[in-house]
Structure 1
């Protein structure tokens, strides 16, 4: 229930600080198994979280990426991997690598991309030039 209220706040609130507080609370919820499960039960959770990256403050963007990282590391399964691909979260991770100068965000994005590279490499949803850029600029092989 709380996760739904937080997502409604992220989607509907026009004030600046309230959505940032909502993303902080979501991050706290994602630190435990039940919180991540609640997040994944919400139909648009990964889409909403990934869309907040670069649309809010730098701190909120970092927190949104930390949520994706937490879900990927501890609750990642084939459904999560596919959903991240379908809602554009994977492309957002590539964007983080290209745009962000902060090592925390870039490091987390790189880890998620490496973790799911085998699945995403085969997908028509990921543009080939993004995979090439990842390899060239970051010295990481997408297997």
Structure 2
């Protein structure tokens, strides 16, 4: 899939939406380290975290937020065919609780900005949401982002 011209904006929005779940502690946990090892990105993640820590203009949570954005950007660019699966696996590994349906709609819209079709985004997340019990027929609606 060719990269859309504004993929950084899409990755930034996706990163912000995922970070809105409050995953900061997860991103520095042994659980996430194991997730990264299982996906062959542990060295990449630790390198990106180090680069973000070395940026003098980043403080506190901004270091981790920047590192997560850069990780998503790297996977999107270098392993694009695996990106949807990576994202789904990440959310599954992080969260064992039902998530707000509007969160999934925001993620789907982010993926559309990144060049994925609505059908691909819906299909990929619908089966996972059904397994988790997050999908009910009365919650499926389009929530368009106003930027």
Larger fraction in helix: 1
TM-score, normalising length: structure 2: 0.34
